[in-house]
Chains A and B, each alone.
Chain A
Amino acid sequence: MGDHEIQVGDTFHWDVSRRQFLAMSAAAVGTLAVGAIPFTQNSNAKPVRAQNSHTPPTKFDREVYTLCEQCVWRCGLRAKVVNGKVYKLDGNANHPHSNGMLCPRGQAGIASLYDPDRLQFPMVRGGDRGSGIWKRVTWKEALDYVAGKLQAIKQNFGAEAMVFSSTHNLSQVQFENLLRAYGSPNYGTQRSLCFNGMIIANLLTFGMQEPGRDYSGVKYIIYSGRNLAEAISNSETQDLIAAIDRGVRVVLLDPRFTKTASKATEWLPIKPGTDLAFYLAMLHVLITEGLYDKEFVKEHTKGFDDVAKAVKPYTPEWAASKCEIPAATIRRIAREFALASPHAFIHPGWRTSNFVNQFQAERTMGIINAISGNWNQPGGFSAGAGEEGGGLGAIPQPPYPRASALRLDGVPWKYPLVPLEIGVYQEMRDAILEGKPYPARGWFVHRQNPVASLPERKKTLQAFSKLDFIVTVDTTMNDTAWFSDVVLPEATYLERYDPLALVGDGVFIRQPVVPALGESKSALWIFKELGTRLGLQDYFQYKDEEDYIRQQLKPLGISLEELKAKGHYRPPTKSEAHAELKFNTPSGKIELYSDSLAKNNFAPVPVWQEPPAPPADQFYLLTGKVAQHTQFGTQNNKLLHELFPENVVWIHTKPAAERGIKNGDWVYVESAAGKIKIKAYVTEAIRPDCTYTTPGFGHLSKGNRVSYAQGASDSEIHLTYTDPASGGQALSQTFVKVYKA
């Protein structure tokens, strides 16, 4: 370490091709540096080769058990350290999410750790937002400044004038602690951008956000858009492939021939937004033909008769006209599913159809699983392996102040069914732009990245322009950091502690494998320091990260040192009888009919909602993951960039020919929100009325030199549609024109 070219107090240009000093610190005025100055603080901070450059190392300084964070699945891993640097990451065989394997993103973790573009010291803006001109400051200066701003906003405008946002991560609890202690009700996460439709439907039906799936004895699986071969959830992807290998029948509804489609027994290229019609007809068949578990329905569900009545009109013939899957196919699949039940499930998916009617589709899928009795059976749904509780010690803290201001995202006054901690993130910007119900003044971002994650990127940047203060805590200079006023560098997952992770009956630790690069710090440290400066120290009663974890471990009777050595701990299992099935719903049963929905003027039983369709000269715009990237956060990782450098737009052969578009041509993809220039991939593997692109590209930040301007941004062209029931966004309701550039 060492040779820090940029000193505290320096103002400099953080640019894609060079990092050049604009002005030196006060002490050095007059000696303006000219030409490129290498920025990388650890020029040799890349994976080391063994001393004999031809032979990889077999001996390691140490092997450390910790948790991956290249996505939210949090696989267990073993990090091998040579000469003080992380050499290789392997899967931890003792972790149920990895089973000894890591996906490409997990394998590529060292390129995120040793990314030369990483943030390594705190900075405040030295020029206009987005100019790339920054001033390096000390942590003390940065924290004092941020705390001063937060305090001033609270005093002058109320805590509600600060907006907070984050993405699911282990330290999120302390970010939430900070914002709740501070007193702001305005909080947004990735959930409403992803799977609100799924989790709100499950909450209302089963009283839980996401039922678990058992693949061990499953005979039949239906997926709606869930692409496990590419949107990898490591252990579940392993389960699926093993199931296919055993001959389990897998039906996939997807307008695109994904890699999962290529593995499925049956791929049904459903018309976008009509999964609901397919499932309504399935439900119709099951009920009219008596193909359901009458005993289970009687004992554990509520409202069957209402559902039976509601689905009467939804014949397979009716559905075929909506979803373009033949009636005979729907009828056959319904019967096959019934025959395989209870060893069968319709997977709840994440975004599923990604239309406003996804919520109704999810309800219908859940109801089919329920009346088929696919609960707590080998190969069915179950309460699943939760992440909450688990007998860990809690850090003491006083109660939170009441945050009584209306939320800017409309929860619950516009979205009565959406839980407060989930929110409707994408709706905050209109409130910020209009200043209603009150003006927002600042935005505190931890590991989110609203500039890239929210639809209508222009609107997000406009909302930024209304704010006096934007602070971002992250590991890299992502697009949101680039447009922020203050950037605080967080240590990567291989350099820090986080609160403990629970998976099933096990406790797992994320611990530093190597010291944090530069001055980057853990989120636990950053939030405690800020909280203390805000006079909220009683909410942060831990001395440091290790003390935090020791307090968590106290009831378990295992020391931090023991846990660190093994990476995991399984408390002695209590024998739990599964005699009684109880669901955390108002009735204690699975709610096929939902009073909560009825009370709030939503359909209490599944009902058809016609999705919008594109005009004749336009296409549906589909998005979905690839195995090599996680949302918008991995594109600057050199190892992953090498495998998947930029996104393209898929278009079917026929409409491409009609427009004179050949494979590899540059095209414009234009929606009502904007247009992007992108390369075309002409293929048979998509419905002719659809286009597809991979999200997370077209970055604006010149601070990330690998990913800057690679590919094109889906956020630039996505429109904002929100489901009034779940608050989930409906990305696939964006329609686009495609023409040659």
Chain B
Amino acid sequence: MAENKRRWGFVIEVKRCIDCKACMVACKVENAVPHDKHRNWIGRIGPTGTFPTLGMKFEPGNCMHCDNPPCERVCPTGATYRREDGIVLVEYDKCIGCRYCMQACPYDARFVHTEGYIDKCTFCVHRLDAGQPPACVETCVGGSRHFGDLNDPTSEVSKLLATRDHYVVYEEAGTGPKIFYIS
């Protein structure tokens, strides 16, 4: 398998998100995330304007699995690491729960698990290994969330990026996030 050539990433079509939060429940159940914690979210912008000229949009998110992850740099134990395929993970047994990574992450993607370690989205790496997309992507009712290999020009995500305007969040931070948004 040519895993090392892969570069996993998300493309999210903001216009298609209906803020139903199926992704949040799917992730929570799939990954047994503790009560009151979530690995992913839906940001709401709005309602903006005044009646009756109003706007509202929804921006789903999760760990951006940055190419240049600040969380990894500040981790004193090396618990946070970046795989060859670009997925950023926490080795839970090495994590001492110091929360530096939470401070460093501009996306607020990390939280303290009830068991003491720092937790976050894994891109459902266990599902990828079984040939399935992340749970949040599979269930996305609006078809807003897309996942795939950014290095494969024939992948759905690459095609979307090739043909549609897109942006990343906090580009200026230089983190190289791998969630790309199509507005």
Question: Is there a chain A Cβ closer than 8 Å to B85's Cβ?
Answer: no
Question: Is there a chain A Cβ closer than 8 Å to B172's Cβ?
Answer: no
Cβ A101 vs Cβ B115 within 8 A: no
Question: Is there a chain B Cβ closer than 8 Å to A194's Cβ?
Answer: no
Question: Is there a chain B Cβ closer than 8 Å to A102's Cβ?
Answer: yes
With a cutoff of 8 Å between Cβ atoms, the chain A residues found around residue B25 in the complex are 104, 107-108, 639-640, 643
Q: Which residue of A lies closest to B142 (CB)?
A: A241
Question: Is there a chain B Cβ closer than 8 Å to A110's Cβ?
Answer: yes
> What is the CB-to-nearest-CB distance from A279 to chain B, in angstroms, rounded to a whole number?
20
Roughly how many angstroms separate A188 CA and B24 CA in the complex, as a whole number?
36
Question: Is there a chain A Cβ closer than 8 Å to B171's Cβ?
Answer: no
Interface residues of B in 1-34 (CB under 8 A from A): 13, 15-16, 18-22, 24-26, 28-32
Cβ B29 vs Cβ A108 within 8 A: yes
With a cutoff of 8 Å between Cβ atoms, the chain B residues found around residue A232 in the complex are 18, 20, 141
With a cutoff of 8 Å between Cβ atoms, the chain A residues found around residue B126 in the complex are 55-58
Give the residue among A49, A234, A263, A688 with the most B Cβ atoms within 10 A: A263
Interface residues of A in 65-123 (CB under 8 A from B): 87-91, 100-104, 106-108, 110
Q: Which residue of B lies closest to A640 (CB)?
A: B25
Question: Is there a chain B Cβ closer than 8 Å to A62's Cβ?
Answer: no
Cβ B22 vs Cβ A642 within 8 A: no
Cβ A56 vs Cβ B19 within 8 A: no
Q: Which residue of A lies closest to B47 (CB)?
A: A685
With a cutoff of 8 Å between Cβ atoms, the chain A residues found around residue B58 in the complex are 259
Given contacts A53-B115, A229-B20, contact A58 B56 (CB under 8 A): no
Which residues of B pack against A, CB within 8 Å? 13, 15-16, 18-22, 24-26, 28-32, 35-36, 46-47, 49-52, 54-58, 92-93, 115, 124, 126-127, 129-130, 135, 138-143
Cβ B138 vs Cβ A101 within 8 A: yes
Cβ B92 vs Cβ A54 within 8 A: yes
Given contacts A91-B138, A639-B28, A643-B24, contact A241 B143 (CB under 8 A): yes
Cβ B21 vs Cβ A104 within 8 A: yes
Cβ B51 vs Cβ A269 within 8 A: yes
Cβ A241 vs Cβ B16 within 8 A: yes
Q: Which residue of A lies closest to B53 (CB)?
A: A684
With a cutoff of 8 Å between Cβ atoms, the chain B residues found around residue A107 in the complex are 22, 25-26, 29, 139
Roughly how many angstroms separate A274 CA and B59 CA in the complex, as a whole number?
34
Q: Which residue of A lies closest to B52 (CB)?
A: A269
Cβ A49 vs Cβ B32 within 8 A: yes
Q: Which residue of B lies closest to A643 (CB)?
A: B21
Cβ B51 vs Cβ A688 within 8 A: yes
Q: List 8 A-B contacts (CB under 8 A).
A: A56-B127, A91-B139, A101-B22, A107-B139, A238-B142, A245-B13, A259-B18, A262-B54
Cβ B18 vs Cβ A47 within 8 A: no
Interface residues of A in 646-700 (CB under 8 A from B): 652-653, 683-688
Which residues of A pack against B, CB within 8 Å? 47, 49, 53-58, 87-91, 100-104, 106-108, 110, 229-230, 232, 234, 237-238, 241-242, 244-245, 257, 259-263, 267, 269, 627-628, 638-640, 642-643, 652-653, 683-688
> What is the CB-to-nearest-CB distance from A102 to chain B, in angstroms, rounded to a whole number?
5
Q: Which residue of A lies closest to B28 (CB)?
A: A639
Cβ A638 vs Cβ B35 within 8 A: yes
Cβ B19 vs Cβ A259 within 8 A: yes
Roughly how many angstroms separate A658 CA and B13 CA in the complex, as a whole number?
40
Roughly how many angstroms separate A262 CA and B17 CA in the complex, as a whole number?
11
With a cutoff of 8 Å between Cβ atoms, the chain B residues found around residue A238 in the complex are 141-143
Roughly how many angstroms separate A669 CA and B141 CA in the complex, as a whole number?
34
Roughly how many angstroms separate A463 CA and B26 CA in the complex, as a whole number?
42
Roughly how many angstroms separate A627 CA and B58 CA in the complex, as a whole number?
14
With a cutoff of 8 Å between Cβ atoms, the chain A residues found around residue B115 in the complex are 53
> What is the CB-to-nearest-CB distance from B5 to chain A, in angstroms, rounded to a whole number?
23
Roughly how many angstroms separate A684 CA and B48 CA in the complex, as a whole number?
8
Roughly how many angstroms separate A140 CA and B21 CA in the complex, as a whole number?
43
With a cutoff of 8 Å between Cβ atoms, the chain B residues found around residue A683 in the complex are 47
Give the residue among B47, B58, B142 with the most A Cβ atoms within 10 A: B142
With a cutoff of 8 Å between Cβ atoms, the chain A residues found around residue B26 in the complex are 102, 107
Q: Which residue of B lies closest to A228 (CB)?
A: B18
Give the residue among B16, B18, B135 with the most A Cβ atoms within 10 A: B18
9 new A-B pairs (CB below 8 Å) besides A56-B31, A684-B51, A685-B47? A54-B93, A56-B127, A108-B25, A234-B141, A257-B47, A628-B21, A638-B35, A639-B28, A639-B29
